[in-house]
Amino acid sequence: MGHLTRTPTSNDPPGATAGKSPYLEETELMDETALLLSGAAMRCSRCRLAVRTQYLEGGLCPDCR
């Protein structure tokens, strides 16, 4: 719980990247959607996270291999 409030707060550190791939390398101009639409990234066939195509091998990201 937050200080002097009854609303629940997250225990995750600020800026946590839950559900984000470390192999996506987003920039200010290229977010996940833009990378997927441009073809610079694809989704892993097992975990469905967006990963840049240079890190995919056989449709799998490095974490799923």
Q: What are the tens digits of pLDDT across the range 18-58?
A: 667 888 888 888 889 999 999 999 999 999 999 999 999 99
What is the pLDDT, as a whole number, of residue 11?
Answer: 72
Helices (H), 2-59: 32-38
Mean pLDDT in residue range 3-25: 70
For the record, the structure tokens of 25 come out as 């390398």
Q: Distance between CA atoms of 7 and 27, rounded to whole angstroms? A: 33
Query: Residue 56: what pLDDT?
Result: 94
- In this prediction the pTM is 0.66
Q: What is the pLDDT of residue 22?
A: 83
Residue 9 has pLDDT above 90, yes or no: no
